[in-house]
Structure 1
């Protein structure tokens, strides 16, 4: 599992993973409340796992953008430029 600390790197690696294996790539979002509040996003294609953890409220807009991009990619619609 690769934990990516920088959002831009995480998003680029996510897009690359999705381009390489679109039918197997999926993601999950988990909210942890203990010991400190944090949002954990995992992207996987069963061989590579990317993980990003944040407790910053400002990252919610970025997560919303990622979710929209992933939904478009999963439904084979034109992928938004992000």
Structure 2
């Protein structure tokens, strides 16, 4: 498991991982109440990347990223 510090790097790597192998790629989001953080995880059974968001502006970025990823999942391409 690799924690990515920069949001843009995480977003690019996660989308590339999904596009490379969409059938085995999984995306999860977990809220950690004690730390007030959201943990994002994308894995394809071989590699795993994670991002921890602790500030409020990151939530809008997460919302946009999740929408983009769901759009890829729902498309027929």
Provide the TM-score with structure 1 as the length reference: 0.87
Runs of 4+ in 1 over 6 A off after TM superposition: none
Matched residue count: 77
| Residues 1:7 and 2:20 aligned together | no
1:77 positional shift: 5.0
Q: Who is 2:33 aligned against?
A: 33
**TM-score relative to the length of structure 2:** 0.92
Q: Where do 1:26-65 residues align within 5 Å?
A: 26-34=26-34, 36-65=35-64
Superimposed CA distance per residue, residues 30-63 of structure 1 (whole angstroms, 9 cap, x where no aligned partner): 00012x2110000111111110001100001100
Match of 1:17?
A: 17
The answer to whether the 8 Å contact 2:53/2:59 transfers is: no
Is there any run of 5+ residues in structure 2 with no aligned partner, and where?
A: none
> Would the aligned equivalents of 1:4 and 1:51 in 2 still touch at CA under 8 Å?
yes
Give the superposed CA RMSD.
1.3
